[in-house]
């Protein structure tokens, strides 16, 4: 199972990234554990200085922007 973390305080962009990620997981019909991380100390510990951020299997794949659905899909497939 893939571990995906969406990093951010809960702003609109963070929610949008969470929705995109959930759609990708659903469309690929894979098992993934999607966790929302809102604790700033934890976000900084992961090396992310601007949100929203996306971490797949402990690898930061995006920060400071909302990636496209295609980008997220590519990252998830790569992690499989």
Q: Which domain holds residue 8?
A: 2-79
24-49 pLDDT per residue, tens: 999 999 999 999 999 999 999 999 99
What residues act catalytically?
11, 14
Region 48-60: mean pLDDT is: 97
Residue 63: other Cβ atoms inside 10 A:
19
Q: Report yes or no: 6 and 61 within 8 Å, Cβ to Cβ.
A: no
58-79 pLDDT per residue, tens: 999 999 999 999 999 999 999 9
Q: What is the pLDDT of residue 15?
A: 96
The CA-CA-CA angle for residues 51, 53, 59, to 5°, reads 145
pTM, to two decimals: 0.95
Cα 20 from Cα 44, distance rounded (Å)? 23
Q: What is the CATH classification number for the domain harbouring 37?
A: 3.40.30.10
When divided into structural domains, the chain yields a total of 1
Strand partners, 56: 4, 59
């Amino acid at each position: 199972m893939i571990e995906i973390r969406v990093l951010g305080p809960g702003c609109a962009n963070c929610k949008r990234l969470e929705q995109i990620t959930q759609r990708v997981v659903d469309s690929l019909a894979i098992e993934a554990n999607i966790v929302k991380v809102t604790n700033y100390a934890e976000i900084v510990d992961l090396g992310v200085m601007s949100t929203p951020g996306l971490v797949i299997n402990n690898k930061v794949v995006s920060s400071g922007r909302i990636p496209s659905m295609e980008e997220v899909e590519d990252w998830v497939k790569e992690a499989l």
